[in-house]
Amino acid sequence: MGALGHYLEREGIPTAQISLIREQTAAIRPPRALWVPFMLGRPFGTPGEAGFQRRVLLALLSLFERPHGPLLEDFPEDAPADQAGPGSFACPVSFAGSDLQDRGLADLLRDEIRQLSSWYELARRRRGGRSTVGVFGDTVDAAVAYLTSFLDGQASPPAGISAGTAIKRACDDIRTYYFEAVAAQPGNLSSAAIEQWFWRDTAAARALFAVRDLCLASDDPSLKPLGKLGLIPRAVLERLQP
C-alpha cells in the first residue's frame, strides 16, 4: 500500500494508510502512515468498539493536516479487550509439564507447533484452505527456524529486508498459527480468552519475550523500536512482566 500511495500522490491524490508492520512501512516511507499496535487482520482494533475505531480513523485522517511527508506516526492506544463470549476456554492440547530447563525453549516451541498442527489444519480447511500464516515464509516451520536462530545469535535476515522486519514477520506467523489453531476447537471462544491463554501458558509467548529482550539490547536500528512497540502488547507487558 505504501508503494501505491507514492503512485497516487504523483497523480495529485493525497493518501494515508494504516500500518500493522512498522518496520516495513518505515522502509517504504509512504506519504502518510499511522502505525497501530493491533493484531494482524484488525487494522481498526477490536470488532464492535465503534468509539475506539473512530479515534483510530480520526488519527489517520489528521495526517492530511500536515504540510508535507513522508510521515509515520504511532497510534498511542492498544485495542480494547474483547468481551468474553459464551463457553469456557480449554486448550485443545495440553502443554502442562513443559520444563524449560530440561528441554530448552526451542524444543518446547517446536513441540507445541507439532501438537497444534491438527487443529491448525482443521481451521484452514474450514476457511477453504486459507490462512493468514505466511508473511515470513511458506510454513510456520520457517518462522520457527528463523526465530530460534535469532535467539541463538545466528540469524541472517532474508535478502532485501531488515532484521527487524524479518523477526516481526516470523513472530507474527507463529502467533497467528497458535490463534488460528486454538480457535478451531469446539465452543465460542473470545479472542480475549485466546490471547490470555497464549501469553500465559505457551512456550511461544516465552520465546517472544526472549526475542523482545534481545531487540531492546540490540544496537540495530530496526530491532530496538521493535522491542519497544512491536512484539508484546502494552496491556500484556503491564499484566505479566514483573
Residue 102, pLDDT above cutoff 60: no
Query: Grid coordinates in use for 91?
Result: 486448550
Length of the chain in terms of residues written: 242
Task: Let me know if residue 88 belongs to a domain.
Answer: no
Contact 199, 240 (CB under 8 A): yes
What distance in Å separates the CA atoms of residue 165 and residue 25, rounded to the nearest whole number? 10
Report the share of the chain in percent with pLDDT over 70. 85
Helices (H), the chain: 2-10, 22-28, 50-61, 100-103, 105-126, 140-151, 163-183, 191-201, 203-217, 224-225, 234-240
Whether residues 57 and 119 share a domain: the answer is: no
> Is residue 83 in some structural domain?
no
Residues 107, 36, single domain; the answer is: no
Asked if residue 27 is part of any domain, the answer here is yes
The reported pLDDT for the residue numbered 166 is 93
* 224 or 185, higher pLDDT: 224
User: Does residue 23 sit in the same domain as residue 113?
Assistant: no
Is residue 121 located within the same domain as residue 198?
yes
This prediction has a pTM of: 0.66
Domain boundary residue, one of 33, 57, 74: 74
Residues 6+ apart with CB under 8 A from 135: 21, 40, 169, 172, 173
Q: What is the pLDDT of residues 132-191, one digit of tens each?
A: 899 999 899 999 999 999 998 888 888 889 999 999 999 999 999 998 898 887 666 677
Q: Which residues lie across from 71 on neighbouring strands?
A: 32
pLDDT of residue 99: 55
Same domain, 107 and 59: no
Helix (H, G, I), strand (E, B) or coil at 212: helix
Look at residue 62 and give its three-state secondary structure: helix
Whole-angstrom Cα distance, residue 108 to residue 207? Answer: 10
Q: Are residues 165 and 109 in the same domain?
A: yes
Which pLDDT belongs to residue 82? 60
Q: Which of 143-147, 184-188, 223-227, 230-234 has the lowest mean pLDDT?
A: 184-188
Mean pLDDT of 40-49: 80
pLDDT (tens digit per residue) in 67-90: 777 889 999 888 876 654 444 455
Same domain for 235 and 154 = yes
pLDDT category of residue 114 using cuts at 50, 70 and 90: very high
Overall domain count for the chain: 2
The whole-number pLDDT of residue 85 equals 46
Q: How many CB atoms lie within 10 A of CB 178?
A: 23
pLDDT value, residue 201: 87
Domain of 227 in residue numbering reads as 100-240
Listed residue (238, 239, 225, 241) closest to 23, CA to CA: 225
The C-alpha cell that represents 242 in the structure block? 514483573
